[in-house]
């Protein structure tokens, strides 16, 4: 990441804070905007996990990491405790790498 990108993102964050201070915060009071705002963080986290799992240096890589993430995702979907989700993902990833 270049310094220009860092400064651009910092200016954007500051601009959003300033817009909220100067009255644009009323826009966030609408139920639709609040619902979309609540859905954005999980979607961004899922996208980040997916990109970090299946890419290496701009190449698509399907390996043991993907199986571990899928196993952990299924365990989380089945409402397993957090420690079990992490342990299951680690065991599945390690098991496939050992093969």
Q: With respect to residue 28, please indicate whether it lies within any of the assigned structural domains.
A: yes
**pLDDT at 92 > cutoff 90:** yes
Q: With respect to residue 5, please indicate whether it lies within any of the assigned structural domains.
A: yes
Would you say 49 and 85 are in contact if contact means Cβ atoms under 8 Å apart?
Answer: no
Give buried/exposed letters for 19-52 (b at 16+ CB in 10 A, else e).
Answer: eeeeeeeeeeeeeeeeeeeeeeeeeeeeeeeeee
pTM of the model: 0.61
Give the chain's largest Cα–Cα span: 59
| pLDDT tens digits, 48-90 | 988 888 888 888 888 899 999 999 999 999 999 999 999 999 9
The larger pLDDT score, comparing residue 21 to residue 83, is at 83
Q: With respect to residue 32, please indicate whether it lies within any of the assigned structural domains.
A: yes
Q: With respect to residue 26, please indicate whether it lies within any of the assigned structural domains.
A: yes
Q: With respect to residue 39, please indicate whether it lies within any of the assigned structural domains.
A: yes
Q: List the domain range (segments joined by +) for residue 15.
A: 1-43
Task: Provide the 8-state DSSP code for 58.
Answer: T
Q: With respect to residue 22, please indicate whether it lies within any of the assigned structural domains.
A: yes
By CB atoms closer than 10 A (0-12, 13-18, 19+), residue 1 is: exposed
Number of domains into which the chain is organized: 1
> Please, how many CA atoms are within 13 Å of residue 56, restricted to the half-sphere of its CB?
5
């Amino acid at each position: 990441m270049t310094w220009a990108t860092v400064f651009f993102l910092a200016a954007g964050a500051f601009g959003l804070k300033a817009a909220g201070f100067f009255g644009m915060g009323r826009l966030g009071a609408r139920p639709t905007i609040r619902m979309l705002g609540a859905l954005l963080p999980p979607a961004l986290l899922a996208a980040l996990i997916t990109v970090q799992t299946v890419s290496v240096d701009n190449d698509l890589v399907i390996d043991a990491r993907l199986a571990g993430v899928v196993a952990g995702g299924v365990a989380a979907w089945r409402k397993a405790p957090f420690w079990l989700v992490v342990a299951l993902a680690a065991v599945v990833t390690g098991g496939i790498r050992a093969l």
